[in-house]
Amino acid sequence: MVEQLQRLLGRHGLCAALGLPWRTILGWLGGKMPSAGAVRAIWLTWCLVFHPERLNSLHDIVTWGRFRIERGVAPHGEAPGEWSGWVI
């Protein structure tokens, strides 16, 4: 997710969107696990940019959009569960 956002937004755009210094993001790209709050911010940013249809309500945000997918069928040809958990 972080790499996709970086390709689209660029280094400075990603830092601005997440409100974080580049060193922090560089650490994630190098394998360091972000905090739970950072994971949520990354996921929300990723959804807003690439899949805004997944964020139609506060319920979607609270449940990470999991209940919008029919069981076993992932949107846009993705593997089930690919976007619902942490994927960097």
Q: What is the 3-state secondary structure (H, E, C) of 12-78?
A: HHHHHHHCCCHHHHHHHHCCCCCCHHHHHHHHHHHHHHHCHHHCCCHHHHHCCCHHHCCCCCCHHHC
* 30-85 per-position pLDDT tens digit: 999 999 889 888 988 998 888 888 777 777 777 776 665 544 445 555 555 544 44
The model's pTM: 0.66
**Mean pLDDT along residues 16-42:** 91
